[in-house]
């Protein structure tokens, strides 16, 4: 199986199902394997003080209005589920609380995703792991202790997982990429390791695949100038299509490492070495 490519929509849909569908269509046309959203139960993730505080947005004048405006409910996710199935693409969402994870179970998702911010949330990790569904675990903002704990939780119940090297800055400076950590994670945890990137370009993601990343997640947007905290660290449609195309080429180009001559080289070798005396 090749590199598993996830188009992270997150909350870049800005609460619009039409925008969400456009972004899903971008992922489909680019050849991504899946799209991913984010799911929060607002009153569990944020304090009442923060939700009551002022914030001007297109949804109102409080933090609550803004955050509720970015969330889809049951009807919205039913529509997303139907649209993804009709377009033959997997979808999932990273839950930020236990109630949200249980909400997502009704859709029989193709995989689960642990957001970097949720790594210390042991009880949520246990709820996710008990589903025994393939889970991608981002490692941004992590300590070795956090990673050891997460891996232990998933291995204890025999839930398949894959770590994803990640640096949680938005956008990420390429000097901070530390791609060698992909090998470090593989060696320490003896598991597949992918890459979840927040840089603005494509080169670091290509390099991650060259380093052996088995999955790739990048945020996508219709326009980086759109409203939203993740837009600046996202890729627009043309760039995402270019990225996935490049990843597929790198993937097949890695080969099996054999030292034997490629059979396709034989005729060239015979021609270019014809003058060499036979021994």
* Predicted structure pTM score: 0.95
Q: Walk along the chain (279 residues) and give the pLDDT tens digit of each residue.
A: 799 999 999 999 999 999 999 999 999 999 999 999 999 999 999 999 999 999 999 999 999 999 999 999 999 999 999 999 999 999 999 999 999 999 999 999 999 999 999 999 999 999 999 999 999 999 999 999 999 999 999 999 999 999 999 999 999 999 999 999 999 999 999 999 999 999 999 999 999 999 999 999 999 999 998 998 889 889 999 999 999 999 999 999 999 999 999 999 999 999 999 999 987
Query: pLDDT tens digit string along 214-245?
Result: 999 999 999 998 998 889 889 999 999 999 99
First to last CA, the chain: 44
Angle in degrees, CA 213, 151, 3, rounded to 5: 20
Count Cβ atoms within 10 A of the Cβ of residue 123 and give its class: 0-12 exposed, 13-18 middle, 19 or more buried.
Answer: exposed
Checking phi first, is residue 122 left (phi over 0); if not, alpha (psi -120 to 50) or beta? alpha
Q: What sign for the dihedral angle of Cα 161, 162, 164, 165? A: positive
Question: What are the sequence ranges of the domains in the chain?
Answer: 4-272
Return the pLDDT at 228: 87
Is 4-272 CATH 3.20.20.70? yes
Residue 235: predicted pLDDT? 97
* pLDDT tens-place string over residues 245-275: 999 999 999 999 999 999 999 999 999 999 9
């Amino acid at each position: 199986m090749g590199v598993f490519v996830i188009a992270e929509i997150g909350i870049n849909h800005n609460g619009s199902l039409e925008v969400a569908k456009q972004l899903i269509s971008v992922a489909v046309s680019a050849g991504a394997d899946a799209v991913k959203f984010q799911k929060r139960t607002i009153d569990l993730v944020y304090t009442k003080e923060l939700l009551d505080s002022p914030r001007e947005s297109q949804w109102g004048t409080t933090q609550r209005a803004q955050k509720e405006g970015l969330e889809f409910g049951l009807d919205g996710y039913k529509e997303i589920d139907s649209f993804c199935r009709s377009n033959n693409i997997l979808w999932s969402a990273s839950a930020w609380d236990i109630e949200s994870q249980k909400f997502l179970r009704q859709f029989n998702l193709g995989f689960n995703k642990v957001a970097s911010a949720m790594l210390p949330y042991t009880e949520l990790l246990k709820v996710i792991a008990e589903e025994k569904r393939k889970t991608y675990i981002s490692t941004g903002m992590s300590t070795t202790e956090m990673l050891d704990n997460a891996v232990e939780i998933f291995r204890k119940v025999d839930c398949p997982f894959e770590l994803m090297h990640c640096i949680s800055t938005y956008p990420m400076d390429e000097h901070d990429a530390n791609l060698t950590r992909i090998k470090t994670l593989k060696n320490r945890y003896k598991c597949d390791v992918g890459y979840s990137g927040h840089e603005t370009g494509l080169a670091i993601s290509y390099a991650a695949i060259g380093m052996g990343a088995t999955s790739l997640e990048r945020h996508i947007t219709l326009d980086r100038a759109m409203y939203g905290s993740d837009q600046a660290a996202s890729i627009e449609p043309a760039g995402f299509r270019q990225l996935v195309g490049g990843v597929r080429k790198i993937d097949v180009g890695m080969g099996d490492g054999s030292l034997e001559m490629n059979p396709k080289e034989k005729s060239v070798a015979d021609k270019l070495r014809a003058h060499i005396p036979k021994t």
